[in-house]
Amino acid sequence: MPRIAYVDGQFVRHSEASIHVEDRGLQFGDAVYEVWAVRGGILFDSEGHLARLARSLAALQIKTPIGNASLMVIVRELMTRNKLKDGLVYLQISRGVARRDHPFPAHSRPSIILTARAMNMVQADARAAKGIQVQTCPDNRWGRVDIKTVNLLPNVLAKQAALEAGFADAWFVDSEGMVTEGTAQNAWIVDSKGQLRTRPATHAILRGITRDAIIKTAQELGFTFEEKAFSRYEALSAQEAFITSATSFVTPVIGLDGYKIGDGTPGSIARKLRETYLSQQTSVKKALDSTLLD
């Protein structure tokens, strides 16, 4: 079965999908994106991702090119055409095609791209059960990483450097020695006093949709939680650490820069949060129609 993508109104073979050479997303990174997890055929946190998409478009002054209802019809059709049970749906909206010039073009129609990718959930669950090792690196990104734009070069380089050094991923650390977030995930610890902590959602991090869902889950489970930045040193002396994102859900971090976190195995709070979040998302079985918000 061929993989199918969606480009500007058409479903096309993934291998033949293409965009214009003067698309501003390509030339300037003038584009935003979203990633939804799909597990057991269910699209996770659909409303949260739609709300963040609207915020990202507004921040870049890109006129919303499609209503949520129409977008969800396309997402559902894409999932069907790709027989997507477990994996990801990727959406990118750029300012559109125009002669290469920095100012916003007077007339351009935003370009919309959607792709679907299958993911092996058995492997993903096994990775989470084992935990991952992370390395820290200086946060050298621009000052508006809270907008979900496609400008991910520092993230790409940090991830590659981490892999080459034998780690699974990287955590960015700001000039004050405080952890900001991962290359594509939010960073969390259970500090030495047993308190769950993740960095407040300022301009210094992308406010993860999974992060927000996990804050709710943690509160429902009665864990003490504070939105408070933590240093690399605090992470090293934490009882537990983990990451959250649409692609990793909740995945324990068992080592940082080659040092064990806690006893060097996945922590019980991270495991409980992952298990509860997955069962909440899959049992709610939010029908896609409930996200037709227009």
The gap from C-alpha 267 to its chain's centroid, in whole angstroms, comes to 22
Kindly state the smallest distance separating residue 152's Cβ from ligand PLP, in Å. 7
β-pairing, 196-198 vs 225-227, is parallel
Kindly state the smallest distance separating residue 186's Cβ from ligand PLP, in Å. 5
* Number of neighbouring beta carbons within 10 Å of residue 5: 21
Cβ 173 vs Cβ 136: under 8 Å: yes
Cβ 189 vs Cβ 241: under 8 Å: yes
Q: How far apart are CA 286 and CA 291, in angstroms?
A: 8
Residue span binding ligand PLP (CB under 6 A) among the ranges 87-95, 100-108, 116-124, 239-247: 239-247
Place of tokens 């500007």: 8
Cβ 156 vs Cβ 186: under 8 Å: no
Binding mask 158-197 for ligand PLP (x = CB under 6 A): -----------------------x--xxx-----------
Q: Which of 95, 197, 211, 274 binds ligand PLP (CB under 6 A)?
A: 211
C-beta closer to ligand PLP: residue 33 or 104: 33
C-beta closer to ligand PLP: residue 192 or 202: 202
Q: Which of 170, 209, 235, 256 binds ligand PLP (CB under 6 A)?
A: 209
- Check residue 35 for interaction with ligand PLP (CB under 6 A): yes
C-beta closer to ligand PLP: residue 246 or 278: 246
Q: Which residues contact 24 (CB under 8 A, 6 or more apart)?
A: 30, 31, 94, 95, 96, 97, 98, 105, 108
DSSP 37-48: EEETTEETTHHH
Residue 286 among the catalytic residues: no
C-beta closer to ligand PLP: residue 231 or 247: 247
Q: Which of 82, 210, 239, 251 binds ligand PLP (CB under 6 A)?
A: 210
Output the six-digit token pair for 120.
């092996």
Kindly state the smallest distance separating residue 214's Cβ from ligand PLP, in Å. 9
Q: Which of 83, 85, 130, 148 is labelled catalytic?
A: 148
- Check residue 115 for interaction with ligand PLP (CB under 6 A): no
Phi-psi region of 40 (alpha: psi -120 to 50; beta: other; left: phi over 0): left
Query: What's the maximum distance between 2 C-alpha atoms anywhere in the chain?
Result: 58
- Check residue 199 for interaction with ligand PLP (CB under 6 A): no
Active site residues: 148
Residues that bind ligand PLP (CB under 6 A): 35, 181, 184-186, 206, 208-211, 244-246
